[in-house]
């Protein structure tokens, strides 16, 4: 199994282009199922989760092939509506295929999703919403068996603004008769990107980015070309890396408005941050200060995916910072690994208190999940000595080539078998 080796203590300098968004492209790939024709996804990041989605598409009968940095999908030959357990277990967002297959085929069969162990996700929200559209859903031996029946649009209020449930409901509603009104919808930018792709395909979807989304189902679809939005969490990771290690880096292919809570936290910690909707630059002397309480929340609040990353950046800050995790139950699994490097972090239930230390030391650590692995990258860049990170397959789920990117900024980093 591969490991990433970092010899820390070097400031980062240079310019880096941010990859396409993982959390955007996965529902878009599921949405390609809706159209019996060709979709071209430009700037599709080459991630293990994307490859898992491609395997699902091919199992369903679709054709999917890489054309340089783009991914072309032809869903015309789709001939199945089931996804086997081995494919569902590869990633947590695999459940997003449920609504799209149901809309296209009138039935769908999957198991529960796998992926990082961050605690239970409210799959019941997805199923309850599908039932309100008129779908019949039953569980048999760990499988979810769904039949569309006579799906008809109606007003559906989500009890929580779940990103996955919002996306699944949008996709299913594309196959329902009439108008569906989704109330208390998630507002994350990635839902706006899904809407843009669906509109390019000919679907009638409006309101993404607000708490109310309207879908008029059963529209005539067409071949579509779409460029994936920038990955705001990858951008946050590289900003945090510069904040922790010191230096000055400019990121391109970013949308600053999507990163406002992260950049505000880094600015409060003592970094100089400036930019516009296309570029962001950050300068840090590496000596940060503690900041006010960080509470994760649905967008536009502080993203749960950036919690571990910001925590790693503040491990050597002056003072103490409190983190409150409001989204996932098990989002502090990376803390024990950070403490191996000399970090002072104490966790009680959903609260973590980070007291800055003068020095971090390189150590042998392992990735516990995707964003926890990114946090170890950030900490390793700030530590003295050599950090060896194991189980890096977690990182590959969401970052195209972090070793290449960080090396381009001057980091002493490599990956070895």
Q: Give the residue numbers marked as catalytic.
A: 116
Least Cα distance to 108 among 177, 168, 153, 179 occurs for 168
The tokens 């966790």 sit on which residue?
347
Euclidean distance between CA atoms 143 and 84, whole angstroms: 9
Least Cα distance to 31 among 103, 92, 128 occurs for 103
Contacts of 263 (CB under 8 A, 6+ apart): 239, 256, 273, 280, 282
Burial class (CB in 10 A: 0-12, 13-18, 19+), 407: middle
Evaluate whether 368 touches 405 at the Cβ level (below 8 Å).
Answer: no
The residue count of the chain comes to 417
Q: Three-state SS for 414?
A: strand
CA 30 to chain centre: 15
Beta-sheet strands, E only, within 10-142: 12-17, 38-42, 63-67, 70-74, 107-111, 136-140
Radius of gyration of the chain from its Cα atoms, rounded to whole angstroms? 21
| Bridge partner list, 107 | 147
**Neighbour tally for 292: CB within 10 Å:** 9
Euclidean distance between CA atoms 167 and 189, whole angstroms: 12
User: Sheet of 386-390: strands edge to edge?
Assistant: 364-366, 386-390, 3-7, 413-416
Kindly state the helix (H) or strand (E) to which residue 147 belongs, with its residue range. Answer: strand 143-147
Euclidean distance between CA atoms 179 and 5, whole angstroms: 53
Query: How is residue 247 annotated by DSSP?
Result: E
The tokens 């947590």 sit on which residue?
92
Euclidean distance between CA atoms 367 and 145, whole angstroms: 34
Euclidean distance between CA atoms 133 and 226, whole angstroms: 28
Query: How is residue 259 annotated by DSSP?
Result: G
């Amino acid at each position: 199994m591969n490991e990433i080796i970092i010899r820390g203590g070097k400031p980062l300098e240079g310019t880096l282009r941010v990859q396409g968004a993982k959390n955007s492209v996965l529902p878009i790939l599921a949405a390609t199922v809706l159209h019996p024709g060709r979709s071209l996804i430009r700037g599709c990041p080459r991630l293990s989760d994307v490859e898992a989605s491609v395997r699902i598409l091919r199992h369903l009968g679709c054709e999917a092939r890489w054309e340089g940095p783009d991914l072309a999908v032809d869903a015309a030959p789709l001939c199945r509506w089931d996804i086997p357990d081995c494919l569902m277990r590869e990633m947590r967002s695999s459940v997003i295929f449920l609504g799209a297959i149901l809309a296209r085929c009138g039935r769908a069969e999957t198991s529960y999703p796998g992926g990082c162990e961050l605690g239970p996700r409210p799959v019941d929200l997805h199923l309850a919403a599908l039932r309100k559209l008129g779908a019949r859903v039953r569980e048999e031996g760990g499988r979810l068996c769904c039949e569309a029946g006579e799906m008809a649009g109606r007003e559906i209020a989500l009890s929580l603004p779940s990103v996955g449930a919002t996306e699944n409901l949008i996709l299913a509603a594309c196959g329902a008769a009439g108008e569906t009104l989704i109330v208390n919808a998630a507002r994350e930018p990635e839902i706006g990107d899904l809407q843009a792709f669906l509109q390019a395909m000919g679907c009638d979807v409006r309101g993404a980015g607000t708490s109310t989304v309207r879908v008029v189902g059963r529209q005539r679809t067409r071949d579509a070309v779409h460029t994936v939005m920038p990955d705001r969490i990858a951008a946050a990771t590289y900003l945090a890396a510069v904040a922790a290690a010191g230096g000055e880096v400019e990121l391109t292919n970013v949308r600053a408005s999507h990163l406002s809570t992260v950049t505000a936290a880094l600015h409060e910690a003592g970094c100089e941050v400036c930019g516009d909707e296309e570029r962001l630059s950050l300068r840090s002397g590496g000596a940060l200060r503690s900041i006010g309480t960080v509470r994760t929340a649905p967008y536009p609040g502080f993203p749960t995916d950036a919690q571990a990353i910001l925590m790693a950046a503040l491990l050597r800050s002056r003072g103490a910072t409190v983190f409150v995790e409001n989204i996932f139950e098990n989002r502090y699994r990376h803390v024990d690994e950070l403490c191996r490097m000399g970090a002072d972090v104490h966790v009680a239930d959903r609260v973590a208190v980070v007291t800055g230390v003068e020095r971090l030391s390189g150590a042998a650590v392992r990735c516990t999940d995707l964003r926890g692995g990114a946090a170890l990258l950030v900490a390793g860049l700030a530590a003295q000595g050599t950090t060896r990170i194991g189980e890096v397959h977690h990182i590959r789920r969401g970052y195209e080539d972090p070793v290449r990117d960080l090396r381009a900024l001057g980091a002493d980093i490599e990956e070895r078998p």
